[in-house]
Structure 1
Amino acid sequence: MKNKLTDLNNHLFAQLERLSDEDLKPEEIAQEVSRTEAIVSVSEQIVRNADLQLKAVAILAQHERMRPHLTMIGTDRE
């Protein structure tokens, strides 16, 4: 897997640093704020997806016998 949550964390901190640049002109600040809103929106979806995956793994760990019935997640055993 190429992108990991640590990569997302790095992108978020990089954007925070861009927003903190005191040399930005007002129009550059507006552009960075717009970019930040887009990044936050996508980031929220990535985090929700990761949370859903963790919940699915926890359920599978607790209910292994259900795995054959959960065809939408796929398995290595197929």
Structure 2
Amino acid sequence: MKNRLTDLNDHLFMQMERLANEELTPEQIASEVERTDAMVHVADRIVENAKLNLQACELVAKHGDRFMKHLPMIAPPANEAAGK
């Protein structure tokens, strides 16, 4: 995984393909369902994190730099900011 949302999308679709495999035994289906549940749980957290980052970016876009000090996840590192 390359840690991009498009990669997450690819993994979820691959899991759907595994679930659709008609040659799976009932035990294999149960295992894939358990795996799917775990993947969906992690994917939900990743999507929520992406939404939070987008909200922070929107806040800065709408209200300017006065909020940057409160949003360290989108501010440049301290040593980079000092060099400017």
The answer, yes or no, to whether TM exceeds 0.5 is yes
Does residue 59 of structure 1 match 2:59?
yes
Q: How far has the Cα of 1:69 moved from its partner?
A: 2.9
TM-score by length of 1: 0.88
1:10-68 C-alpha deviation (Å, 9 max, x unpaired): 00000000000000000000000000000000000000000000000000111123234
4+ residue runs of structure 1 moved beyond 6 angstroms? none
CA distance in 2, matches of 1:71, 1:51: 14
Does residue 25 of structure 1 match 2:25?
yes
How many pairs does the alignment contain? 77
Could you list the runs of 5+ residues in structure 2 that have no partner in the other structure? none
CA distance in 2, matches of 1:11, 1:64: 36
Greater RCO, CA 8 A, separation 6+: 1
C-alpha spacing 1:68/1:17, structure 2 compared with 1 (3 Å): closer
Q: RMSD over aligned Cα, in angstroms? A: 1.5
